[in-house]
Amino acid sequence: MKSVKAVVDYLKSGNVSYVFGIPAGSVNAFFDELYDTPEITPIVTKHEGAAAYMAAAYTKYSKELSVCIGSSGPGGANLLTGAANAMREHLPILFLTGAVPVDTVGLNASQELDAHPMYKSVTKYSKRVDHAEDLLDEIHKAVENALTGVPGPVHIAMPIDIQLAEIKEKSLPSFPQYTPLLPEDTVIKETVEALSATKKGYIFAGQGIRDSVPNLLELAERLQWPIVTSPQAKGLVPDHHPLLKGVFGFAGHDSASNLINEGDFDTVLVVGSSLGETATNNYNPNISKNKMMIQIDFDQNVFNRKYAVNLPILGDTQITLSSLNDGLQRLGYEQTLPTYANRQLDAINDEYSTKNVLLRLQKLLPKDTRYSIDIGEFMAYVIHYMNVLESDSFDINVHFGAMGSGIGSAIGSKLADDNRPSVSITGDGCFFMHGMELLTAKEYNIPVLFIVMNNARLGMVHHGHSLQYQRVHERFAQEPVDIAALAKTLGVPSIHVDRMEELKAESIETLLNEEGPAILEIALVDDHTPPMGDRVKFLSSFGK
């Protein structure tokens, strides 16, 4: 049998459903095997970068390994950004790249690129396989790495001749499963004692709580501690919960900032946050100042990185929180909801502004909509103003989201969870990077509503540069493009809106009921300063 067939059979044994990427000569042997493997559908995208973000969202919501593939040379290079993103988000993705034949390495072969060293810094494991009999074993080793300990991306480069070489048939190794990391009992006991001895504390929650929200809320209700979330964790805790004080960090809320900067707390419990720049409002020292700091994470590298941690708990978030709840219950802590009013939400008025448009759209869209948020000034408005009506309703990639990433993410999200409406909130600048993935969604009948905020400029750059340097280069703007008309030429239903009164329930319902993708273009130049918090102040501090 061909060595590449063994690889495809192995992926099939692991219930891999999709392979995201683009076929080409150096990986066509892999794609050829898919003819005889109907269990795996190739999602052929328009750009490898988009494929990587589709794979990221798919694995995030399906809880399964994703597979992404690109050709030797440019295709593999185009996947690098997505690999770096998966590393930041701890997402298990197997990146496969083609490579030139082994005997042509170093001879300037067509599309030759020594890819595996490039991937080493952005994956948990990266290797080129130069012997056909080793290919399956290396793929298995890579998948084990992806799913063991802290999940993350891995990479295997497959030379063309190695894929096509004949090997002896052998039994497939068992496909690895993720095994949760158990916290130490002594550390759990010590933490329960510390929590019970605390007079006043609060919870700082990051996106690592995604699968543990009920456990987190139970803990908060037992302790009666308020919760603040990072921007990446927006959407995980519903706004109506009375203990939620809002988002801290980039585009966050005054209620969360006041709690951290002015609150009289003696303990902070950090759950599932790496405490990066955007989460901490540029490493605000008040998060842990004069407080005992307890941090829960499955990645020990986040402990004591910027903030001194008094009590690190290395373990799976869900299991750790459950163990803490059990310990507190044995001490007599009951789970009760406070009766005071929760955080006030923003109201809509008639002004045609980004804030009002987003709030109006949320009223018109189903409550269980999952929003994939792209990179642009609208992201700040989403974080600050949009409401969290149901858990796990926002995918916001502040850490390593590229412009256009929200387009592929919305497609991957829908493939992973067909029961929830999938909406991409993107901008014209983002659309010009990855907008042709509209055709990918169309060709596979994937119903995603793409809301394009079109202001004919790089909005985040425009406002940030203006605030930092008090001037803006004219080339940050561009000639307006009718994106709705462009979508129609691609055979994608679309609506163009340039007034508040044009946002109607019937129009939204029509777009949502399409069998494939649809475009809602919001033509709007908003000169209000986006609610970016202290981000500009931080950037402006350099060079002074």
Query: Cβ(130)–Cβ(159) under 8 Å?
Result: yes
* pLDDT higher than threshold 50 for residue 502: yes
**Looking at residues 258-284, what average pLDDT do you find?**
95
Domain annotation covers residue 170: no
Domain annotation covers residue 407: yes
Q: Residue 475: pLDDT band by 50, 70, 90 thresholds?
A: low
Question: Last residue of a domain, which of 264, 296, 330?
Answer: 330
Question: Last residue of a domain, which of 109, 131, 164?
Answer: 164
Beta bridge partners of 270: 204, 295
User: What is the total count of domains within the chain?
Assistant: 3
CB-based contacts of 388, cutoff 8 Å, min separation 6:
234, 235, 236, 237, 238, 239, 394
Claim to verify: residue 160 and residue 251 sit in the same structural domain: no
Query: Cβ(241)–Cβ(391) under 8 Å?
Result: no
Report pLDDT digits (tens) over 293-313: 999 999 999 999 999 999 999
User: Across all residues in the chain, what is the average pLDDT?
Assistant: 92
**Looking at residues 397-426, what average pLDDT do you find?**
94
**Looking at residues 450-474, what average pLDDT do you find?**
70
* pLDDT higher than threshold 50 for residue 542: no
Claim to verify: residue 264 and residue 130 sit in the same structural domain: no
Claim to verify: residue 363 and residue 477 sit in the same structural domain: yes
Report pLDDT digits (tens) over 102-125: 887 777 776 778 889 999 999 999
Domain annotation covers residue 172: no
Domain annotation covers residue 449: yes
Claim to verify: residue 128 and residue 239 sit in the same structural domain: no
Domain annotation covers residue 376: yes
Domain annotation covers residue 236: yes
Please give the full DSSP string across 374-440, using - where no structure is assigned.
-SSHHHHHHHHH----SSS-EEE-TTTPPTTHHHHHHHHHHHH-TTS-EEEEEEHHHHHHHTTHHHH
Claim to verify: residue 135 and residue 201 sit in the same structural domain: no
Q: Residue 534: pLDDT band by 50, 70, 90 thresholds?
A: low
* pLDDT higher than threshold 60 for residue 184: yes
**Looking at residues 22-40, what average pLDDT do you find?**
96
pLDDT for residue 335: 95
Claim to verify: residue 101 and residue 68 sit in the same structural domain: yes
Claim to verify: residue 392 and residue 496 sit in the same structural domain: yes
pLDDT for residue 541: 47
**Looking at residues 472-500, what average pLDDT do you find?**
88
pLDDT for residue 185: 98
Domain annotation covers residue 522: yes
Residue 54 is part of a domain; what is its CATH number?
3.40.50.970
Claim to verify: residue 290 and residue 207 sit in the same structural domain: yes
* pLDDT higher than threshold 60 for residue 543: no
Claim to verify: residue 427 and residue 516 sit in the same structural domain: yes
Tally Cβ neighbours within 10 Å of residue 133.
Answer: 14
pLDDT for residue 260: 97
- DSSP secondary-structure letter at 239? T
Report pLDDT digits (tens) over 335-350: 998 876 665 667 888 8
Range of the domain at 410: 354-536
* pLDDT higher than threshold 60 for residue 437: yes
Q: Which of 447, 453, 466 is nearest to 510 (CA)?
A: 447
**Looking at residues 177-190, what average pLDDT do you find?**
96
**Looking at residues 3-19, what average pLDDT do you find?**
98
Q: Residue 422: pLDDT band by 50, 70, 90 thresholds?
A: very high
- DSSP secondary-structure letter at 180? P
Residue 199 is part of a domain; what is its CATH number?
3.40.50.1220
Claim to verify: residue 156 and residue 224 sit in the same structural domain: no
Q: Residue 38: pLDDT band by 50, 70, 90 thresholds?
A: very high
**Looking at residues 256-279, what average pLDDT do you find?**
95
Percent of the chain, pLDDT > 70?
93
Question: Last residue of a domain, which of 114, 132, 164?
Answer: 164
* Helix orientation angle between 80-89 and 48-62, rounded to the nearest 10 degrees: 20
pLDDT for residue 457: 55
Claim to verify: residue 469 and residue 513 sit in the same structural domain: yes
* pLDDT higher than threshold 50 for residue 538: no
Claim to verify: residue 117 and residue 250 sit in the same structural domain: no
Q: Which of 518, 472, 464, 473 is nearest to 492 (CA)?
A: 518
Domain annotation covers residue 180: no
